[in-house]
Amino acid sequence: MIEEFIETRAYTEKLCEPLKTEDFVIQPVEFVSPTKWHLAHTTWFFEVFILTKFDPDYQLYHKDFPFLFNSYYETKGDRLMRTHRGNLSRPTVDEVYQYRSFVTSALEKFLQKNSDQNEVLNLVEIGIHHEKQHQELLLMDIKYCFGHNPLFPAYGDFKHEKKEADTSGWISIDEGIYEIGHQGNAFCYDNETQAHQVFLQNFKISKQLITNGEYLEFIENDGYKDPLLWHAEAWDWIQGEQITKPLYWHKMNEEWKEFSLSGLQKLDLELPLSHISYYEASAFAQWKGLRLPTEFEWEIAQDRFEWGKRWEWTESAYTPYPNYKKAAGALGEYNAKFMVNQKVLRGCSTLTPAKHTRKTYRNFFHPDMRWQQSGIRLAN
């Protein structure tokens, strides 16, 4: 546990190595948090949920940091408004790194002396996976900041992608009763429990994700102009926001380009589509005369196709499973309070850290969000 804790903390900081000081502070929109805030918030989690509760000798690094770096935990006191995170020129980036070092060292020493306390170890494990979540969010946010900079700066040659293997076609799943949800003693979030049975009709699910080239056909066929393809709320969204293409696509001198963490490049038609909203995914499925899979269909079929390049939109609303029990206290705010007006995504993306995915993982976002690396797999 200590080794994984140290590795996780170090990897977050490694992700920041390509950045300049100015990159740590910007917040172009509310849902994007500054890199500096991610570094501090993941530290706050370990400090407030573990050290201040279980270590009688621990003293807060700074009395104002719990206010500055709490995210949404109402039961942990007042907090800075999310829209103001980008206003924090102080504390400096250097001081945030000092804060990280202080808390990391304190928790490591505490764990060495208290390695048999299951409650503490469980919280450390949650904190590790919480930080892994923020590692992906950090990259998503950096990409949004750089992708909306007119210079289109490159973060680096990050995980260069290859097209999927040629496994076109459909997987047929028979009607029946299937087991859904997490089982066993390995780590999972509470929203993946309780395991339960569901009845599924016969269905087919595609072996491959939709590619950029396939989605370009939708655009060129005026898919964004046909109201019959869109939910009413989605139509209002694309009209109001003037959405005509995926996030990070740019048409320059009659040539399509896409911004990635490696910079602005010619659109690769064979790569899986990414940064698409549920609204767009659903409209595309309508255009193809097909649909999105439910999260239960996805989970049952996932061992028969390759996944892991994109978070995959499903048709399922983010709701609790039967007999779901949220955690007591502040950790009960981690997932349960968001189970409304959101759609489930399954799988993971190329930005997801190692050891932070499984077939039962339930990611979730509002249907208009697309700054996450999300894509489309169709069902029938």
363-365 and 343-347 as β-strands: parallel, antiparallel, unpaired?
Answer: antiparallel
Place of tokens 């949920």: 49
| Per-residue pLDDT at 327 | 86
pLDDT at res. 163: 80
Rg (CA), the chain: 22
- Buried b / exposed e along 166-201 (16+ C-beta atoms within 10 A): eeeeebebeeeebebbbeeeeebbbbbbeeeebebe
Write down the pLDDT at residue 323: 95
Distance CA 373, CA 165 (A): 19
Give the phi and the psi of residue 265 in degrees, each rounded to 5: -140, 160
* Whole-number Å distance between alpha carbons of 322 and 197: 9
* Residue type, position 248, single letter: Y
Q: With a cut of 50, list the residues of the chain below it in pLDDT.
A: none
pLDDT at 330: 84
Q: Are 40 and 99 in contact (CB under 8 A)?
A: yes
List the domains of the chain with CATH numbers. Answer: 2-147 (1.20.120), 170-375 (3.90.1580.10)
Give the tens place of pLDDT for each residue, 122-166. Answer: 999 999 999 999 999 999 999 999 999 999 999 987 766 778 777
What's the confidence (pLDDT) of residue 160? 67
**pLDDT, position 222:** 98
Q: Are 263 and 154 in contact (CB under 8 A)?
A: yes
Per-residue pLDDT of 17-75, as tens digits, reads 999 999 999 999 999 999 999 999 999 999 999 999 999 999 999 999 999 999 999 98
Instruction: Give the bridge partners for 260, in sequence order.
Output: 263
User: What token pair was written down for 211?
Assistant: 């590619």
pLDDT of residue 152: 97
Whether the CB-CB separation of 155 and 143 falls below 8 Å is answered with yes
